[in-house]
Chain A
């Protein structure tokens, strides 16, 4: 009924604007918002190359000397560079190795429960940690990690020592990754559980007739049935490899365990906001952001291609 405008000819632009004036007015606040709160800070990233001058407002982003890649080189030559990169990558890697399969396993386990009520209660309980604030969760972790806390009790039960786990660098990654799994296992299982629900039931029936047991059904029907979802979620998580946020780490770490817990984002926070090395910290952040961007774009491109061939 209505003509569709696809081509940006002069005539089309005029007609489209006349017809859709109200629509453009309705989306104007969003555009202003994105300029003010997304694009202005994005342009602000140039401060990684130009010395930021504080105290003179927005001019400060462009007023200083051109430094080029000096701050980036400073960072790469920094004694902490290797440690920050290692911690960031290792935390992501452990998250991938242990955190990625966990919700898949839970989804399979949930799907095999024959009692609806039990399953529903289990879902309700395992989703809960996802909605509780990081501050509360980290507060509990800090509490459990004391030498008089729960973790020491468990350690003592197995003949281990009673120690303050968050004061000892070698436990940080385990605590961070394990509590992350605890927080997200239920919520992340939803997408896999719904993929399992979508598997054609006749496949299971055929497997039963062929004499396969539960384990064989899981191996040969369930897992192949959700493999495309698994692959896409895996690729998307790889896209987040270099993106370890400061928010949770800053609640758990302290200077005595920086050796394993300090990551790029927490370093940026300390160098920038605390020590006010504005341009240096912005350059470090930008370094991280560019790697993130490349990873994310490639991951999305790959997952789209995989999605087209295997999902549809």
Chain B
């Protein structure tokens, strides 16, 4: 079908608007890249709108990679992500499996017991005091144990498992397999797309989280990366990065350091971004089918 003149105009306008939006979405990250690779002395001459690197220097990255607080934050965050994802996987899969079985008398009761917590939870203050009472304050476990089961993610996995045909588990039962074996050998391999959603949501959440650490971690040596970043980017604390810098260049050296740490902390997300896009778009759909 030939396109009319009006349609061509419409498509051009449409693509232009979407293109502009893409630039707006991308610019802050380009800004971070440009500034982080800039030479602080040159950067002093450019004001707010940065559209290319001003000079070129890798000093900011060298500084960031040698900075104790940032590297220690990285280490803490890696620990949190690995333990957090493992714990959530170990907790979620059996729960989702049991709740996807049909002939369990207490199933709906247990489901209600879980769903209620999605509607009404302990407030920030009682939760804080309870976690302190468990002795988790200042421990990295305070960032993973209290969130090792997420009802929303669990429901995604459960919905997916409910869609696996009954005849499979029934015939495995007849062959003498028990539920643990069926879950392990049949349902985990068959639920890969939903489990990918679980692992990715959990991993990205733990990587990006800062607020729980802000509440529960007092010791600077246990700060996760995002909390270190928050202190650097927003509180303007300088993390003893600027030892031999004259005050005149100070602001611009700090600016390159900030953006280099933005890039260094966001890089892992960019690396797994193709996976995120592939699986999580599907996850939205699984999640919206039921509940």
Contact = CB atoms under 8 A, between A and B. Distances in A.
Interface of A: 1-6, 8, 12-13, 16-17, 19-20, 22-24, 26-27, 29-31, 33-34, 36-45, 47-48, 52, 54, 57-58, 60-61, 106, 109-110, 112-115, 118, 121-129, 131-140, 142-144, 146, 148-154, 182, 185-186, 190-191, 194, 208, 213-215, 246-247, 250-251, 265, 268-269, 272-273, 278, 281-282, 285-286, 289, 293, 296-297
B243 interface: no
A5 B109 CA distance: 13
Given A22-B179, A136-B262, A37 B233 contact: no
Contacts of A30: 91, 94-95, 114, 149
A221 to B, nearest CB: 15
Contacts of A296: 119
B51 to A, nearest CB: 11
B89 interface: no
B258 interface: yes
Nearest to A110: B18
A143 B258 contact: yes
B126 A113 contact: no
B91 A33 contact: yes
A13 B104 CA distance: 10
A152 B215 CA distance: 34
Contact of B234 (A33, A138, A268): A138
11 contacts: A12-B105, A23-B98, A37-B145, A42-B117, A44-B129, A109-B17, A113-B11, A131-B276, A136-B262, A136-B266, A190-B281
B20 to A, nearest CB: 11
Contacts of A186: 25
Nearest to B134: A36
Interface string B60-95: 000000000000000000000000000000010011
Contacts of A22: 178-180
Contacts of B113: 31, 34
A250 B4 CA distance: 52
Contact of B126 (A47, A133, A144): A47
Nearest to A297: B119
Top 4 A-B pairs, shortest CB-CB distance: A41-B122, A44-B126, A139-B233, A285-B123
Contacts of B55: none
A273 B129 CA distance: 9
Interface string B269-290: 1000100110001001100100
B2 to A, nearest CB: 12
A44 to B, nearest CB: 3
A112 B101 CA distance: 43
B22 A121 contact: yes
Q: How large is the interface on B (under 10, 10 to 19, 20 to 34, 35 or more residues)?
A: 35 or more
A interface, by DSSP: helix, strand, loop or mixed? helix
Interface of B: 1, 4, 6-7, 10-11, 14-15, 17-19, 21-22, 24-26, 28-29, 31-32, 47-49, 91, 94-95, 97-99, 101-106, 110, 113-114, 117, 119-130, 133-134, 145-149, 170, 178-180, 183, 204, 207-211, 215, 226-227, 229-230, 232-234, 255, 258, 262, 265-266, 269, 273, 276-277, 281, 284-285, 288
Specify which of A4, A22, A42, A272 lies most central, judged by the most chain B CB atoms within 10 Å of its CB: A42
A205 B196 CA distance: 38
Contact of A136 (B14, B128, B265): B265
Contacts of B21: 106, 122, 126, 185
Contacts of B7: 213-214
A268 B105 contact: no
B233 A136 contact: yes
Given A110-B18, A133-B226, A213 B130 contact: no
Contacts of A29: 91, 94-95
A144 B258 CA distance: 13
A34 B149 contact: yes
Contacts of B277: 123-124, 127
A38 B117 contact: yes
A131 B110 contact: no
A60 B128 CA distance: 13
B230 A135 contact: yes
Nearest to A57: B133
A272 B95 CA distance: 34
A148 B255 CA distance: 12
B209 to A, nearest CB: 8
Contact of A133 (B130, B266, B281): B266
